Structure 1
Amino acid sequence: MAARIAPASRPYPAYAQERLARLASPGGDPLVLFTTLATDQRLFERLFSGGLLDRGHLSLKQREIVIDRITARCRSEYEWGVHVSAFAEKAGLTRDQIASTCAGGPDDACWTEEERCLLRLCDRIDADCTLNDADWTDGLRFFTPHALLEILMLCGYYRTISSITNGLRLPLETWAARFAQFAATEAS
């Protein structure tokens, strides 16, 4: 099966050469994962700097929908609450949309068709750690291949963050939103 995004080949882009040389696998070549990421400078660099909270292939609202949905599905009230409190208003998320990220789903009336697609992609990635061909094709209606790659990366990164916050049993930030604040909201 052909890769959906072809990996970079030698000579690698200048921004990636040094790092790829240091990340050689036992076979001598960098992993395909890293060379595929090297096809997009920002995503390549962000992977190694630990986050995707910059201007990227997704709007602020799209990014926050992904983060809120994944952290809620992982039951990371800590990370979900921080993001809802810090970014939801700025991203333009409504109360019903916030509630839907933790207690609703893609079919809730508060979402546009594009946002429903985004939520379905998040749910599939969270449930199966993949996107099947139908999901990928559906996603291409609204997102570029690199935006879909960013969605995959955000889901994985925030599952990791959720594992850390949950595994360490971090106390909730006093100023952060709580799941219970939105449980009574009709996600419609």
Structure 2
Amino acid sequence: MSQTLPRIAPLDPPYAPDIAAQFDRIMRGAPPLMLFRVVAGSARAWEKFTAGGLLDRGPLSLREREIVIDRTCARTGCEYEWGVHVTTFAGAARLTEEQVRATVTGAADAECWSAAEQALIAAVDALHERATLGDAEFAALAAHYDEAQIFEIILLCGFYRTVSYLANGLALPLEEKGARFPQ
């Protein structure tokens, strides 16, 4: 039986004006995600959470960013955040159905990825499994990405591992329109 409410109650509308403005900015007028409604219930958590956001125009392409986020969320078993990102960004990132599926079930060297994308996925896997990059994994990244991009990759892995801890630990119900892990 799936849970319909998270372990910590979300904010309900009407939201305080400052929170409503932040939700509108982040969601561009769409209803706020359950994750945001729950975290925003703690002023300190919300402040720290929003300060750590990495969805701005950083040194990675949208496609590269989403591969890192999707793989990180898949490796942490966070169907909630994986589903939100796949639904929201997979099309714009030009991820095929095979690639979306491979973020959950594929090996880092799956043929659906370019060599640079394989290096991204291998880095995510290494950080997930060992919390570090071996020399070979770092060299593979460095062959395709500059230092600013490598920092971004590591930061994305860490931030979305934290997001996954929040979503999983608070037992957030899956978003109605969010994608589901492939079976």
**TM-score, normalising length from structure 2?**
0.71
Q: What is the aligned counterpart of 1:77 among 69, 75, 79?
A: 79
RMSD (CA atoms): 1.6
Partner SS state of residue 61, structure 1: helix
Is 1:109 paired with 2:114?
no
Per-residue CA distance 1:18-60 (angstroms, 9 max, x = gap): xxxxxxxxxxxxxxxxxxxxxxxxxxxx998221101111100
Higher RCO structure, 1 or 2 (CA under 8 Å, sep 6+): 2
Deviation at 1:107, TM superposition (A): 2.0
Q: Please name the residue that 2:148 is paired with.
A: 146
Q: Please name the residue that 1:30 is paired with.
A: none
Deviation at 1:130, TM superposition (A): 1.0
Q: How does 1:92-171 map to 2 (within 5 A)?
A: 92-171=94-173
Per-residue CA distance 1:95-127 (angstroms, 9 max, x = gap): 000000011122222111111111101101111
Comparing 103-112 with 93-102, greater Cα deviation is found at: 103-112
Deviation at 1:134, TM superposition (A): 2.2
Unaligned runs of 5+ in 2: 1-47
CA distance in 2, matches of 1:78, 1:63: 18
Partner SS state of residue 176, structure 2: coil
Partner SS state of residue 90, structure 1: coil
Q: How does 1:24-63 map to 2 (within 5 A)?
A: 49-63=51-65
Could you tell me which amino acid in structure 2 is paired with residue 108 of structure 1? A
Greater Rg by CA: 1
Q: 1:167 to 1:47 in 2, by over 3 A?
A: closer
Could you tell me which amino acid in structure 2 is paired with residue 132 of structure 1? G
CA distance in 1, matches of 2:50, 2:176: 31
Aligned pair count reads: 136
Comparing 89-98 with 137-146, greater Cα deviation is found at: 137-146
Per-residue CA distance 1:43-92 (angstroms, 9 max, x = gap): xxx99822110111110000000000000000000000000000000110
Unaligned runs of 5+ in 1: 1-45, 184-188
Runs of 4+ in 1 over 4 A off after TM superposition: none
Could you tell me which amino acid in structure 2 is paired with residue 112 of structure 1? S
Q: Please name the residue that 1:22 is paired with.
A: none
Partner SS state of residue 100, structure 2: helix
Could you tell me which amino acid in structure 1 is paired with residue 108 of structure 2? P
**TM-score, normalising length from structure 1?**
0.69
Q: Please name the residue that 1:64 is paired with.
A: 66
